[in-house]
Amino acid sequence: MDPLRPRLRLTALVVLALSSLSHPGFGQETTSLFDGSTLSGWSGDERFWSVEDGVILGRSTPENPLSATTYLTYTNGEYRDFDISLEFRIDGQGSNSGLQFRSIPGENHQVLGYQADLDAARDWTGGIYEQGGRGVIARRGVRMLQNGKHSAYELLGDLAELKKLGAPGEWHTYRVRAEGTRIRIWVDGTLTCDYDDREAMFDGGSFAFQLHQGPPMEVRYRNIEVERLPASTVPETRFGTAQWIWTPEGARDAQVVRFERRLHPKGPVEKATLHATCDDGVEFSMNDRVFAGGDDWKAPFSAALQPKMIKALSAGKPIVLRAEAWNLSGAAGLIARLDIEYKDGTKESVETNRWWTKRVDGEPKPAEELGPISAESTDRRPWGMPSGESSGVPDLPLAASKLEVQPGYRAEEILRVPRGYGSWVTLAVDGKGRLIAAAEAEKGLFRITLRKGGLPTVEPLGLDIEGAQGLLVHGRDLYIMQNAMTGVDNGLFRARDTDGDDLYDELKLLTKLDGSGEHGPHAIWLTPDGEHLEVIAGNTTAFPANVERFHMVPNWRDDQLLPSLPDTFGHGNAMHDHGGWLGRCDLDGEHWEILSTGIRNAFDFAYDRAGNRFAFDADMEWDMGAPWYRAPRLLHVAPGVEFGWRRGSGKIMGSEPDTLDAVAETGPASPVGVLHGKDGRFPGALGEALFLGDWTRGIIYSVALREDGDTFRGEPKPFVSGRPFPLTDMVWLDDGSMAVVTGGRGRRSAIYRIAAEEPRAADAPRGVAEITAEPGKLAAQARRAALELDPAIGTWAPAALAAKDPVGWLAIARVGGPEWQKPLLENLMEEPVPMGHAALRAIELSLARSGAPADDVRAALLARLEAEVPAHDEPIPHDVKLTELLVYLGSDRAPAFAVPRMLSAVTQERAIDFALQLRLAESGWTPELAKSYLDFLHTDARRFLGGRSIEGYLNRIREAALERAGRAIEGGYTPPPLAEPAAPLYEMETPLFVEQWSLPALATVHGQIAGANDRALGERSFRRAGCYACHRVGEEGGGTGPDLTDAGGRFTSRDLLIAILEPSRDISDQYLDTEVWTKDSEVYVGRLVEQDAEWTTLQLPPSEPGGTDGALVDVPAEDIQLVRAHPISRMPSGMLDGLHTAEIVELLAWLLDDPAGRKER
């Protein structure tokens, strides 16, 4: 193997210690591969391989250096399943060798295949490398299952102890046992690797020893004995003599093939069962009704035909069985058998063979037979005996008839996207009215041609793009925003048709953007003048390197006087200060300007007729219930506006005068596509409305805009909704109807058309919604930004102060620095009582950005602010901000002013806001005030509801409050005892074991959900399985996992079962752990809390699901070898193993129910 690869160690959340295993005997003949004196039966470069003292010696020296790795290959036979043992000794610093097995010899003494690794440093000894393939596939010390892009592993023992095995300069034993897909390795009798390779590239071949290029080294081998394990036999299978089939043209990547078989039933049918599997996946339909499918060829399925299909088969007429098969990459094949049992007792089987046809230009063409099921592999049949089992339940999108659409509109399904084309997340329309779609991850881009009265055609574009989240077609150019998680360059790409042949033949990266994942770079739009591009990006995305202009001063701060609280789970703590942003560039991506910042993670935006931009943004749902939580909101994104996203509690709320509040707010949502009605043909108000997509709840909102000063307001109203309806994007089609695509996070994709029953005429006059009101808050933001960008502050600041200009105050506070602080504060202190919001905010900004003023100014300012405090507890505006200022300046009056207001607050958000400011008050505490404050934090505040982070924030407030307010209580503060709940809400019961459930074992539950009616049993089963410990449903449950209140808006029952039974298959960025691998073989796994040039901080996981998170670990940057995403979910498997089938059915039905229906029942 390559010694320059990073020296890594694996860890996992679960550690399993296993005893070493002795060499078992199977009664098979053992063969010695080495005669002890010659290299008979071996082939290698004799300059480096020889026999000395009865051992095979591989040696390179300074006089005889090895410039390219070489191999000594065994030539007297190949082995597939075997048990080989030997002794080895390795000498020389940097020495590296290994035992190749199931390998293919090549020219110049090279091989391809598996390698059991050896090295003198013992970084790799006992692990598995794939020469010519995937590289390191299983490191020492792990038991690992590899299945496609999904893997799972656990440790075999203490990694430090395992590293002691195989010390250089000594003889050691080495043993490899390969049976089917499972490979195990022992060093000195200790199991070091147990690997199950479900995507094996090599299934049989030769043995070989490696001598690696590099410094002088020696490796010796002796006592090489192999036992050939019993050959696998081809068992009787459900497939009989069925053939693997595919197209005569062969397999291609991202390929979908539709096979047909005309059936001629002999009479009335009693029952029929389909057995099938496909590399990579297939769906079967009859009479245009999909009834079975699967996407793991190693796990065949058996599906009974439904009563309607049995009736159709019994009608005495020919009927067509269709199979839509897909191939992601590599080899492809479909095998199937339909067993039909007639009412007269006779039976018939229809198997895949050349009589199955595929349509080419409307004509049927025979399939090519690739061979039957086989336990052995050949070049023509790469499929061994499938060993698994899948449910066969098809993963289908929601039927258009089940969408709820506003009266006067209709929905129809345009395309049910083949599973092989991935999960689609964004759309565009080209100049010929065709759709361009992008799939998440590595599936690429597709062009969809819509055909009136016929099925659309889907054409993979063949561009080397992964994970695009923004598309735009402009003339012959296709602009693409690549947002991949695989280490490729992300950013703005352009694909171009250079020769007019309707194919994109040039792909160029225009601007690299440092950002990826769910908060990376997103949508692209062409500006209304057609001269520029504008893009929007989430808050993990850095600015482009070539920004030439900022429409605001680029000096982002928290702009709060008291330190903000970081998220206790680390979310957002390592994100960019400026937050998400909207930028503009020329059509070549060379010249950039940043128009707006402080957005959190808007996925899309749109223009109205006047060119106003509107984006749909959402805050972190973990902050729900906190005063700094901002509901999902529609933003009027104008140049120069800073929308105030900050880490943790530091957000600038929309009510502040130095930002812009929302145009509209929705309930909890995951914002996706945004569209304006100007380019469609919806009649009336919807022709000028905005449309906002919510992925989580499966809703398209319409927002009719109305003027509000110099900006807009609106109320979101559901336009289209469904369960599940995980929409990701929307575009206008040429006929003025709306195309909507569903997908995301592996969800099944479909494209729907939403059309008006009476569309607006194509040439109907359309008004332009221009603002006619006097300049207001939006104009104030633009004017403030212009002042701040003007370096001649000595010119404009005096005029602003003389005019008592609130906009000027804010600009001076933000950019004036200490030089202008005293003139500003003195000017503000002249304001009458009560002081206005802008004045208080300007004081806050000046103190936050320029620090504490001189003592005389501070004293005068404190006296002026204390004059704002009323003699009694009557309400005053901006009392929370006044509390913050009083605490910062050390006023003795802060506790007496704020504690009563906290206790009488009508919302928990307002109460938390006062508690947050008071936590740092050093003076003014009486024993009574301190006890009231601390009692509130330890009693009332414990009943507050909110997102996952709310309790962590409150704990930090309590800690700070105890340190300061607690000093006022003689003998210290003793929290009141907490009442024990009668029935702990989140305590997992320990039911008896029922069954180790799998997807195939629960295949029948999906059809039973419609008849489920015991919601109390469903909720009780959810509780018994321990799900409440991590998941919130309504107002109950924990926050360490996704909120499942409206799970039915985005998940099917199949999605939920996969997530429960295979929790590591798809992990959201939000819940992804991070691995930090150090240079001295230490590994930490936890939530990334913070990362900078000097340190990386992780919070370790809880000791049990739903428990308190573990300790914080700080790792110095100089000690770090690698930081990467951890592939294992914190959610344990087996959560349903204590439930019976009926309980699982009711649990799923309860989760899929709409929130209102769940509550009513």
Q: Lowest-pLDDT range, 314-318, 997-1001, 1037-1041?
A: 1037-1041
**Residue 1098 clears pLDDT 60, i.e. is over it:** yes
Q: What pLDDT does 9 receive?
A: 29
Q: Please, are residues 359 and 258 in contact by the beta-carbon 8 Å criterion?
A: yes
Q: Is the pLDDT of residue 824 over 80?
A: yes
- What pLDDT score does 1135 carry? 82
Q: What is the pLDDT of residue 151?
A: 55
**What's the mean pLDDT in 1003-1030?**
83
Is 50 exceeded by the pLDDT of residue 5?
Answer: no
Interatomic CA distance for residues 733 and 415, integer angstroms: 14
The reported pLDDT for the residue numbered 24 is 37
- Give dist(CA 786, CA 800) in Å, integer: 13
State the pLDDT at residue 1042: 81
For the segment 867-893, the average pLDDT, to the nearest whole number, is 91
Output 876 or 750, whichever has higher pLDDT. 750
Question: Across residues 781-798, what is the average pLDDT?
Answer: 95
Element (H, E) at 901: helix 894-903
What tokens appear for 1098 in the block? Answer: 């992780």
Contacts of 286 (CB under 8 A, 6+ apart): 305, 309, 312, 319, 320, 321, 322
The DSSP secondary-structure symbol of 518 reads G
Q: Please, how many CA atoms are within 13 Å of residue 268, restricted to the half-sphere of its CB?
A: 4
* 779/782 Cα distance (integer angstroms): 5
Average the pLDDT over 950-958 and give the result.
Answer: 93
Per-residue model confidence as pLDDT tens digits over 130-166: 887 778 888 898 887 765 544 556 788 888 889 999 9
Question: Do residues 663 and 713 lie in contact, with contact meaning Cβ atoms separated by under 8 Å?
Answer: yes
Q: What is the pLDDT of residue 765?
A: 59
The closest alpha carbon to 8, from 870, 1075, 901, belongs to 1075
pLDDT digits (tens, 9 = 90+) for 734-768: 999 999 999 998 889 999 999 999 998 876 655 55
- Most confidently predicted of 194-198, 258-262, 1050-1054: 258-262
Mean pLDDT of 1012-1016: 84
Rounded-to-integer distance, Cα 818 and Cα 912, Å:
32
pLDDT band at 571 (very low <50, low <70, confident <90, very high): low
> Does residue 81 or residue 380 have the better pLDDT?
81
What's residue 26's pLDDT? 37
- pLDDT surpassing 90 at residue 729: yes
Separation CA 720–CA 295 (nearest Å): 30
pLDDT in tens, 382-423: 566 666 677 777 788 999 999 999 999 999 999 989 888 889
Domain ranges of the chain: 30-228, 243-372, 400-756, 781-968, 1000-1160
pLDDT at 983 > cutoff 70: no
Amino acid at 366: P
* Contact in structure between 999 and 390 (CB atoms under 8 Å): yes
Whether the per-residue pLDDT at 16 is higher than 70: the answer is: no
List the structure tokens of 633: 């909101």
The pLDDT of residue 150: 44
Which range among 43-52, 519-528, 572-581, 777-786 shows the weakest confidence by mean pLDDT?
Answer: 572-581
pLDDT, position 12: 31
- pLDDT of the residue at 199: 66
| Mean pLDDT lowest among 369-373, 638-642, 644-648 | 369-373
Greater confidence (1015 vs 980) lies with: 1015
Q: Which CATH number is 243-372 given? A: 2.60.120.260
What distance in Å separates the CA atoms of residue 1131 and residue 1113, rounded to the nearest whole number? 22
Q: What percent of the chain has pLDDT over 70?
A: 89
CB 124 within 8 A of CB 118: yes
- pLDDT at res. 672: 97
The mean-pLDDT minimum among 98-102, 807-811, 814-818, 1041-1045 falls in: 1041-1045
Of 433-437, 703-707, 771-775, the one with minimum mean pLDDT is 771-775
Provide the mean pLDDT of the chain. 86
Greatest CA separation for the chain: 105
Report the alpha-carbon distance of residue 511 to residue 494 in Å, rounded.
10
Answer yes or no: is pLDDT of 349 > 80: yes
Residue 177 and residue 183: Cα distance in Å, rounded?
6
What pLDDT is recorded for position 198?
Answer: 65
Helix and strand counts by DSSP (H, E) for the chain: 18, 64
Average pLDDT over residues 2-23: 30
In this prediction, residues 941-970 reach a mean pLDDT of: 92
| Chain segment 167-201, per-residue pLDDT in tens | 999 999 999 999 877 899 999 999 999 988 766 66
What's residue 1075's pLDDT?
82
3-state secondary structure of 578: coil
Note whether 814 and 788 are within 8 A (CB).
yes
Beta carbons within 8 Å of 842's beta carbon, 6+ residues apart: 806, 809, 810, 812, 813, 824, 828
Task: Give the mean pLDDT of 654-668.
Answer: 93
pLDDT at 799: 95
Judge whether residue 1102 has pLDDT over 90. Answer: no
Residue 1014 has pLDDT above 60, yes or no: yes
CA distances from 74 to 56, 78, 582 (A): 12, 8, 62
- Identify the pLDDT of residue 430: 96
Bridge-partner residues for 1078, per DSSP?
1120
Residue of 1007, 1053, 1044, 1037 lying closest to 1106 (CA atoms): 1037
- Domain 400-756 - what CATH class? mainly beta
Q: Do domains 30-228 and 400-756 have the same CATH topology?
A: no
Residue pair 178/70 in contact (Cβ under 8 Å)? The answer is no
Quote the DSSP letter at residue 567: P
Out of 317-326, 685-694, 773-782, 895-904, pick the least confident: 773-782
pLDDT at 378 over 60: no
Q: Which residue has the higher pLDDT, 326 or 934?
A: 934
* Strands 135-138, 706-708: pairing kind: unpaired
Helix or strand (DSSP H, E) at 480: strand 477-482
Q: How confident is the model at residue 1039 (pLDDT cuts 50, 70, 90)?
A: low
The confidence score (pLDDT) of residue 1021 equals 87
pLDDT of amino acid 153: 64
pLDDT of residue 75: 93
Q: How far is CA 153 from the centre of its chain?
A: 20
In CATH, what is the architecture of 30-228? Answer: Sandwich (2.60)
Question: In which band, very low, low, confident or very high, does the pLDDT at 235 lie, cut at 50, 70 and 90?
Answer: very low
pLDDT of residue 984: 39
* Residue 120 near residue 93, CB atoms below 8 Å: yes
Model-wide pTM > 0.75: no
Quick one: pLDDT at residue 13? 29
pLDDT of residue 8: 28
Q: How confident is the model at residue 1056 (pLDDT cuts 50, 70, 90)?
A: confident
